[in-house]
Structure 1
Amino acid sequence: MPVIRLILLVVFVLSIVFPVWAIDIHVSPTGDDAAAGSPKEPLKSMAGAQHYIRKLKTSGMFSEDIRVIFHQGDYYLSSPVYFGIEDGGTAALSVTYQAAAGEKVNFIGAEMISGFEANENGMYQTQVKGSQFEQLYVNGKRAVRARTPDQGKFFDVVDVEETIFEGAEERVPTFAMQEVFVNPMDAQSLNLSENLQEEDVLAVFYHKWDNTRKFIQHYNAETNSFYFSGGGMKPWNPINESSRFYVENLKSGLDAPGEWYLDTDGTLYYIPREGEDMEKALVYAPVTERLLVIQGESAEHKVENLHFKNLNFLYGGYQTPRSGNEPAQAAAPIPALIMVDWADGISIEGCEIAHTGVGGIWFRNGVSNGIIRKNYIHDLGAGGVKIGPFAAGTSPSLEDRVSGFNLVENNIIRNGGWVFPCAVGAMIFHAHDNSLVHNEIADFRYSGVSVGWVWGYSHSFAKRNTVKYNHIHHLGWGDLSDMGGVYTLGPSEGTVVSHNHIHHIYSMTYGGWGLYTDEGSTGIVMENNLVYACKNAGFHQHYGKENVINNNILAYNRISQLQATRVEDHLSFTFSNNIVLYDRGSLLSSNWENIRLESDHNLYWDERGGVPDFGSLDWEAWQKKGHDKHSVNRAPGFTDPKNFDFTFKDETTVNDIRFEPFDYKKAGVYGDPAWVKLAGFDPDRARKFDALVVRLSSP
């Protein structure tokens, strides 16, 4: 039967069996892409369904919404599935790829590895043919590529010498070689004299807010130093004696449960974790970086009205290029498992995106009116969600690529930065009018949310973005510095950060802040946020203009409660109707007392007693400067703040500062009890965080 007649027959049958508002195409792992696409004769793959829909359109039969219904099972992908303009819907008609009701559908970008046998060293090994990978997953958990020292530990850099070959007059040299000196005991532990002979040994550096990942090219045993090359170090954040590093892909580093190593002869070694039975274990090695790519052509030619519901996108990898990875704030260039460019009305809802070498979802160039809702995004090599392009500058070509009017709502985004620790939970680059609301964002090594991508006061496209009702917590883990629960950059007029619950942020050195308006942040309103248990301060402004910090609770931050850095001629911010509660450290740090600000109707309460000082000024001198004339120094009347219960048992005092109580318990995800329960943070992880803070903050 000719293909067109077959399609007509299928559509006719489906129109009888199913409601006329949709054409349903069925897919099963046991199907056949040459089949009719009916429940009894399903297709086999997403690509098969895609090809089927193109034929429908070519035949002029796209007159109803189309649903591709996947039935339970695993669908293996060796490369991404690409969707172009021809694969989307129209303004009036949609194309939806979804799981059958109640069925679990997994798209897997990995191959399963089996055949493990115990060897004489207490390890397990198997033979892998022709595969190269840098991530491995065992029973749904990320294994650790053999490294020295073990996970959670680092070597210190003693010194770095840089030789510049190209671009010596540039701010950042084009090409240079770096020689890194290490302690003799660390050099002995690395044993690079032997390990460099046959292995691609990767050094991963942590320096302030950045990571640099480079293959070691040479080792000098006489000077206890090793070399790598590439771009010159950034003068504002070089690798230096304050930096730390570990070395990955060393067979000699294979010494801890959960570690693995792939030898050059194809032998895969693994040391099981407690309770793992390698004869029954599900072991996956990724074969592709991305699983889903939606790619329009331009602002005038976008993929439209395309939707993905209740599907799981699992197991992707990342392979380090031979040049390594130069430092990049927020891991900005690193892609995601799901990439979207030039699209309008795209939605990803109810999906699980997990076990990646890169990020989760990126709505990048020219993406508008998109929805990312109720997805479980976790175990990530980089960040969770990114919106907009990240390029530097504000050129006309960039303006055409700006994204806007996207919604990121009710997602669980956590446990990321395993390959790129400097990645952010949710990132808005050059993008406007986006809403990030009611998400759970936790367990990253850098900032939870970042908005804006312009340093200073030059033109920015990041306007009118909304960050509301998010639960943002357990960030930093003492690995990097200069981070915030919510971090902003550049002029962002109309941006609102409100009703967020932010807590437990701990940086390596400086910069574990709750609310952080960084370079040039302008026109941002931060109100009705609860912030506590941060290392450096609840609120910090590096420099900015005319921001409003209003009606927030800032409590129990460790070093100080409030911080401001650069003194400028204009009004930096307004600070009013806030509650500041603390029992350690100081009220202020840096230049708060010298900043041009407006401050009034605040409550300050040091539980140790006494009247707080404002830097070098006492309360009276501070008020004589025109600040806090109607502010009070009293206990705020919380129910049980020591146990982080910031509800009010008595509102008498806060009424005096015109504070308006807000329900911080509304922050985070919402919906059915199982979904809300899934968002609950692992108590063991919380205890590990607290223990880490105690250890790192001890003298």
Structure 2
Amino acid sequence: MVCTGIKLSAQSVLYVSVSGNDANEGTKEKPFATPEQAKLKARTIRGKLTVYLRGGTYYLQKPLVFTPADSRKDNEPLVFTAYHDEQVVFSGARQLQLKWEKNNGTTWRASIPEDLTWDRLFINGKLQQMARYPNYNPAAKIFKGTAPDAISPERIKKWNHPEGAYVHALHRSEWGDFHYRVLGKDDTGALKMEGGWQNNRKMGMHKDFRFVENVREELDTAGEWYADKNKGLLLYYPATPTSLSRAVIEVPQLAHLAEFRGTAADPVRNISLEGLSFTQTTRTFMQTNEPLLRSDWAVYRGAAVFFTGTEHCSVRGASFYDLGGNGVFFSNYNRNDDVSGCSFINIGASAVCFAGDPAAVRSPLYEYHESLPLEKIDRTPGPIGVNYPAACTVYDNLIHDIGLEEKQVAGVQISMSQDILVKHNTIYNVPRAGININDGTWGGHVIEYNDVFNTVLETGDHGAFNSWGRDRFWHPVRDSMNARTDKLRDELVLLDAVHTNIIRYNRFRCDHGWDIDLDDGSTNYEIYNNVLLNGGLKLREGFFRKAENNIILNNSFHPHVWFRNSEDVFVKNVIATSYKPVRINVWGKQVDKNVFLDSLSLIKEQQAGHDQHSVYAAPAFMDASKGDYRLKPGSAAFSTGFQNFPMDNFGVISPPLKARAMEPPLPELLLFNEQNDQALSEFMGLKVKNLNTLAERSATGMHAETGVLVKEVDASSPLRAYIRPNDVILEFNETATPDLRALREAKIGKRLRNTFTIKLFRDQQEQLIQITIR
């Protein structure tokens, strides 16, 4: 829109400096002091305009908000950017000067202002830990430390005034997390709490994986703090004898740092934030309370940078770090926006989220068990209106170490959106999915050239890429859904999933789930030219999925509970071993012309009645040690129509981000029909081999030459606390393991949760050991 009062001007740049003055003219010699003043001045200037921010930290008192009054014409964009690569930081914290004095033998105290939010504390730029139980342990897998007795009656008795404390826990089935605020104690001494709305599958807290924080009596280790607002005191247990009198104390106060707030009818247009840093926002887990369309998710519609009602707006080359909540959120109407060239590191929740308006969804349902009678289902395809994100791009971003506070998160989350492009991103060290598509509304997303690994690190039953369907046709009772789709498939299943989602040219690795997990009802997908390093490909109930020309290493294809008329296709894929079906009676439209790296698996599948034109090919890769899994010329694989595709174009591409990005750990290839029984193989950090000699039988005391013999235990193995050299593994997660092949198949065939069992032979007897990986 064109705002009244705008004057023609030859001025094309404005300047802002932390040492400036808002009474200045905004020139290089006389810069403004705040981005807000530059924004207001920009409204009076036509033409292309750049606002240069000089280096320094801008402690914002409120978010920088762009409205339709700030919109620009298509050829007159407005850019807020750092001047000549100077470091410009937008902080949501307030910097404090405190007077410290010794409190007792270990802690110090300082008087604090009454009007502050005490949610997070930074000292000399480093985040400190709220007083918590159990204590923060950087080596712990889940929440950096959990304990089953975190809120036991015995522990609660030790707390005089727990009001204001927080209880955090994994979902009972490890499908995300729950958070509660403590209101006090009741007459019985039990905690009074509010919360538990952060997950849309409300099944209660996990009995083991929980912790409590912000309790005065738990202030017992270096690096912890507690703010007693009633007494106006901050208590701190220093990690080092650093002089607190000279320390930089920062306390986050804002959840948002920049906002673009328009509407579909009157959008914010053509504004970009470039080369800026965004940091130190408050946590938002208690505001994560909006359920999303029958998924496991609830969301908080907010972030450090928030978009709603925009066109051609962007954030580019930015650095997001040490945030309490989401990095970037696109809510409702947004078109042709992009997030590109950014880094997201140490983020409390998700990096980039898209979520449309539920009012744009026809026949919307929210809880997993909800369903509509057939006669009440809207039969009109697609959305109502335009109030949802579409044609937006997430490109060339480095995303890692996210979900530090919340666990139902993703590097990129998409819900109630259409035609989102997610391309050339590197995503790793995440508690759940790297990329998640929440529902079938309304498809058209392209997921390509991404590198996603070290995923599902703190939760379970998920994938490096995950999706759900559960669209308007979906019914939680399978027999009811069969009855609907047998008769009305062509009328129902593409009402929401109107456009095909494409997953191509990606590299995925998940060690605690599937590399690609198309879960409940995921429909209308094409999946091709992907490298799956460890977790395999899962296609649960859904329709019209085609998986072609993928390379699946150390794992296989996992078809789960398919519909009789699914029309699913699985062809020309390279697979390490036999399929892992669950309740499959009909094998879709076509499962054939695949390439097995294990001849025994090929025979097994052909005997099952499919893969009649599939082939066995010796696993001859170009250079597996360097991640080049193209097959060498002459491979039998090419007779099926399989084609090699590039292996050197995954993840971020801009040189600065590429230099910082990790590479995924490449798997030691498991060759399932290998006949060298004397060779040592790697398994979860163990060096193992088939127990197959009389000497090994004698040394272990085994009654027969069977089982898997442990020769070495690496210090980094997650099993190091449970397994010893000379143990013999007899069962893995309730599956017999007479040899290495069976052990590998057992790990592939059952999704590992954080707790599982191993039966060992040790000290002349069988022992059943429960393994807990935290």
User: What's the TM-score, normalizing by structure 2?
Assistant: 0.72
Task: Return the match for 2:455 from 465, 471, 475.
Answer: 475
Aligned position for 1:562 = 557
1:31 and 2:20 correspond: yes
Q: Shift in Å at residue 388 of structure 1?
A: 3.2
Deviations 1:603-654 (A, max 9, x none): 2234xxx61289xxx33422xx3x2112123332125547755344555132
Unaligned runs of 5+ in 2: 363-381, 470-496, 666-683, 686-713, 722-753, 759-774
Deviations 1:257-302 (A, max 9, x none): 4433222333333444579775665442101110001101x32211
Aligned position for 2:463 = 484
Kindly indicate whether the alpha-carbon contact (under 8 Å) linking 1:637 and 1:648 is maintained by their aligned counterparts in 2. yes
SS class of match (1:544):
coil
Kindly indicate whether the alpha-carbon contact (under 8 Å) linking 2:452 and 2:509 is maintained by their aligned counterparts in 1. yes
Q: Write the distance in 2 (CA, Å) between the matches of 1:563 and 1:78.
A: 52
Q: Shift in Å at residue 73 of structure 1?
A: 1.3
Aligned position for 1:84 = 67
Aligned position for 2:112 = 128
Aligned position for 1:246 = 211
Q: 1:682 to 1:202 in 2, by over 3 A?
A: farther
Aligned position for 2:635 = 652
Q: Shift in Å at residue 545 of structure 1?
A: 0.3
Q: Write the distance in 1 (CA, Å) between the matches of 2:288 and 2:329.
A: 22
Q: 1:638 to 1:6 in 2, by over 3 A?
A: closer
Match for 1:332: what amino acid?
V
Deviations 1:471-528 (A, max 9, x none): 1111122x2123221122332632111111111442xxxxx11111122222211111
Match for 1:369: what amino acid?
N
SS class of match (1:413):
strand
Match for 1:267: what amino acid?
L
Aligned position for 1:143 = 128
1:517 and 2:482 correspond: no
Q: 1:303 to 1:565 in 2, by over 3 A?
A: same
SS class of match (2:38):
helix
Q: Pairwise mapping of residues 672-691 of structure 1 onto structure 2 (< 5 A)?
A: 672=655, 674-680=656-662, 691=717
Aligned position for 1:661 = 644
Task: Return the match for 1:295 from 261, 264, 269.
Answer: 261
Q: Shift in Å at residue 227 of structure 1?
A: 4.8
Q: 1:398 to 1:5 in 2, by over 3 A?
A: closer
User: What's the TM-score, normalizing by structure 1?
Assistant: 0.80
Q: 1:240 to 1:41 in 2, by over 3 A?
A: closer
Q: 1:663 to 1:114 in 2, by over 3 A?
A: farther
Aligned position for 1:413 = 399
Deviates more, 1:630-639 or 1:212-221: 212-221
Kindly indicate whether the alpha-carbon contact (under 8 Å) linking 2:506 and 2:529 is maintained by their aligned counterparts in 1. yes
Task: Return the match for 2:233 from 228, 246, 267.
Answer: 267
Q: 1:644 to 1:93 in 2, by over 3 A?
A: closer
Q: Pairwise mapping of residues 165-244 of structure 1 onto structure 2 (< 5 A)?
A: 191-195=155-159, 197-207=161-171, 208-217=174-183, 226-229=191-194, 237-239=202-204, 244=209
Q: Write the distance in 2 (CA, Å) between the matches of 1:88 and 1:445.
A: 38
Aligned position for 1:543 = 541
Q: Shift in Å at residue 136 of structure 1?
A: 2.5
1:318 and 2:318 correspond: no
SS class of match (1:246):
strand
Q: Write the distance in 2 (CA, Å) between the matches of 1:693 and 1:280.
A: 45
Q: Write the distance in 2 (CA, Å) between the matches of 1:195 and 1:600.
A: 63
Match for 1:551: what amino acid?
N
Kindly indicate whether the alpha-carbon contact (under 8 Å) linking 1:332 and 1:423 is maintained by their aligned counterparts in 2. no
Q: Shift in Å at residue 384 of structure 1?
A: 0.3
Q: Write the distance in 1 (CA, Å) between the matches of 2:409 and 2:22.
A: 39
Q: 1:620 to 1:524 in 2, by over 3 A?
A: closer
Aligned position for 1:159 = none
Q: Write the distance in 2 (CA, Å) between the matches of 1:689 and 1:350.
A: 39
Deviations 1:169-192 (A, max 9, x none): xxxxxxxxxxxxx97x65569621
Task: Return the match for 1:333 from 300, 303, 314.
Answer: 300
Aligned position for 1:173 = none
SS class of match (2:157):
helix
Q: Shift in Å at residue 236 of structure 1?
A: 5.1
Kindly indicate whether the alpha-carbon contact (under 8 Å) linking 1:637 and 1:653 is maintained by their aligned counterparts in 2. no
Kindly indicate whether the alpha-carbon contact (under 8 Å) linking 1:485 and 1:502 is maintained by their aligned counterparts in 2. yes
SS class of match (2:39):
helix
Q: Shift in Å at residue 38 of structure 1?
A: 1.0
Q: Shift in Å at residue 121 of structure 1?
A: 3.6
Q: 1:678 to 1:147 in 2, by over 3 A?
A: same
SS class of match (2:255):
coil
Q: Write the distance in 1 (CA, Å) between the matches of 2:119 and 2:430.
A: 20
Kindly indicate whether the alpha-carbon contact (under 8 Å) linking 1:492 and 1:522 is maintained by their aligned counterparts in 2. no
SS class of match (1:656):
helix
Q: Write the distance in 2 (CA, Å) between the matches of 1:495 and 1:371.
A: 19
Q: Write the distance in 2 (CA, Å) between the matches of 1:195 and 1:327.
A: 33
Deviations 1:206-244 (A, max 9, x none): 11323221123565898x964535679989540166663
Q: Write the distance in 1 (CA, Å) between the matches of 2:347 and 2:197.
A: 28
Kindly indicate whether the alpha-carbon contact (under 8 Å) linking 2:575 and 2:595 is maintained by their aligned counterparts in 1. yes
Identity of aligned residues (%): 22
Q: 1:347 to 1:231 in 2, by over 3 A?
A: closer
Q: Shift in Å at residue 334 of structure 1?
A: 4.6
Q: Write the distance in 1 (CA, Å) between the matches of 2:123 and 2:547.
A: 46
SS class of match (1:654):
helix
Aligned position for 1:20 = none
Q: Shift in Å at residue 452 of structure 1?
A: 4.0
Match for 2:306: what amino acid?
M
1:493 and 2:499 correspond: yes
Q: Write the distance in 1 (CA, Å) between the matches of 2:347 and 2:65.
A: 22
Match for 2:456: what amino acid?
G
Q: Write the distance in 1 (CA, Å) between the matches of 2:350 and 2:234.
A: 28
Q: Shift in Å at residue 568 of structure 1?
A: 1.4
Q: 1:429 to 1:277 in 2, by over 3 A?
A: farther
Task: Return the match for 1:635 from 618, 627, 634.
Answer: 618
Q: 1:452 to 1:256 in 2, by over 3 A?
A: same
Q: Shift in Å at residue 100 of structure 1?
A: 0.9
Kindly indicate whether the alpha-carbon contact (under 8 Å) linking 1:500 and 1:667 is maintained by their aligned counterparts in 2. yes
Q: Write the distance in 1 (CA, Å) between the matches of 2:596 and 2:636.
A: 11
**Aligned-pair RMSD on alpha carbons?**
3.5
Q: 1:198 to 1:229 in 2, by over 3 A?
A: closer
User: How many residue pairs are counted as aligned between the two chains?
Assistant: 616
Match for 1:40: what amino acid?
E
Aligned position for 2:33 = 44
Task: Return the match for 1:432 from 395, 418, 440.
Answer: 418
Q: Write the distance in 2 (CA, Å) between the matches of 1:84 and 1:525.
A: 39
Q: Write the distance in 1 (CA, Å) between the matches of 2:198 and 2:248.
A: 41
Kindly indicate whether the alpha-carbon contact (under 8 Å) linking 1:137 and 1:355 is maintained by their aligned counterparts in 2. no
Q: 1:620 to 1:550 in 2, by over 3 A?
A: closer
Deviates more, 1:403-412 or 1:486-495: 486-495
Match for 2:459: what amino acid?
L
Match for 2:548: what amino acid?
N
